[in-house]
Amino acid sequence: MWAEIPYEPWRETCSALHLYTQIVGKYRLARTPWVNHSWHATLYVNARGLTTSIIPDGAVSVEIAFDLLDHAIVGATTDGRRAGFPLGPMSVAEFHARLLDLIRELGGSPQFDGRPNEVPNPIPFRDDRQPRPYDADAVRRFFQAIVATNHVLNRFRTAYIGKVSPVHLFWGSFDLAVTRFSGRPAPLHPGGVPALPDEVTREAYSHEVSSAGFWPGGGGTDFPAFYSYAYPAPNGFSDAQPSPKEAYFDQNLREFLLPYDAVRRSSDSEATLTSFLESTYNAAADLGGWDRDALECPLGEPRRPRPLNTGNSRPRHHRSD
């Protein structure tokens, strides 16, 4: 499942897919009540690609999905209507226009913000008429990569009984992420994220976090990578020793990176990625003074409820000291 996905050969397709997810995500954002840390706006991995889940839109509820196996946008409503169009070479403006038509056909309201977020030199969607390629094989391999990553992140998530996010794709930065919270407020974030209101960034980082995830490249790297960071970063965080040996702290991005290929080529890919997630979280939690005994627990297992004293039953080997 850990498909080969070198970034450079599909850079332009990846950029187009990123903007397409932003357009669909903006529709969800415009229709869904705000949830803490912008969790109401994200996309989720499903059996064929990415989905918005159900979006309330007046008299109907709408779901928009990226079918990354048959390469199509598929819309459905709770009253039985369906509509869609194929994914292929097109401009962002053409995708935007087709999505507006699809939403109208489903009985929804196609009004939402028409500008990209978190990308340099953003061009309004309707004005971005540059032809974009669509490498279907690369998209399929990207889907395989996020399915495998989604599995590991969801399992990692089960070892935490404190506040923890779903595993979801943020279309602004085009990363699949999971975030743990210490429970304590964080210092006011300085903001300054390109094409993103500071009030959104500050609400997202209102509390201390250790966050990890995956992006396919382009977010400060020219290769697919897993990342992990803390906000606020505690003293000594950048000097911590992550696992496995291929992981390192990137001084420009101010976060730990593990190249995707180090996981793909490993004899035990899940264990390799898990060691990165655990070691970098351990650094954030230990150096940040998190109450780990109250926040952590053993990994979840199918059909086994948590014991009532789960907050005191985490394995001691999870500590980094």
Lowest average pLDDT, out of 92-96, 104-108, 120-124, goes to 120-124
Give the three-class secondary structure for 216. Answer: coil
Do the strands 207-215 and 248-250 form a parallel or antiparallel pair, or are they unpaired? unpaired
Tokens of 111: 């009004």
> What pLDDT band is residue 1 in, cutting at 50, 70 and 90?
confident
> If you search the block for the tokens 């939690």, which residue do you land on?
285
Max Cα-Cα span within the chain: 58
Question: What are the residue boundaries of the structural domains of the chain, listed by start?
Answer: 8-134, 137-318
Q: Which residue has the higher pLDDT, 317 or 251?
A: 251
* Residue 43, beta-bridge partner list: 169
Kindly tell me the burial class for residue 23, based on how many C-beta atoms sit within 10 Å of its own C-beta (0-12, 13-18, 19 or more). buried
Q: What is the DSSP letter of 79?
A: T
Average of per-residue pLDDT values in the chain: 95
Q: What is the DSSP letter of 171?
A: T
In tens, the pLDDT along 39-94 reads 999 999 999 999 999 999 999 999 999 999 999 999 999 999 999 999 999 999 99
Tokens of 246: 């291929």
- % of the chain surpassing 70 pLDDT: 96
DSSP string, 271-301: HHHHHHHHHHHHHHHHHHT--HHHHB-PPP-
Q: Is the pLDDT of residue 320 over 90?
A: no
In tens, the pLDDT along 19-45 reads 999 999 999 999 999 999 999 999 999
Q: Which has the closest alpha carbon to 163: 149, 142, 184?
A: 184
In tens, the pLDDT along 183-201 reads 999 999 999 998 999 999 9
Vertex 276: Cα angle to 217 and 216 (nearest 5): 10
- pLDDT average, residue stretch 228-251: 98
Q: Is the pLDDT of residue 12 over 90?
A: yes
- What CA–CA distance (Å, rounded) separates 35 from 54? 15
Contacts of residue 69, Cβ cutoff 8 Å, sequence gap at least 6: 48, 49, 140, 143
Tokens of 249: 């702290």
Secondary structure E strands in the chain: 44-45, 49-51, 55-57, 60-67, 72-77, 82-86, 168-170, 175-185, 207-215, 225-231, 248-250, 255-259
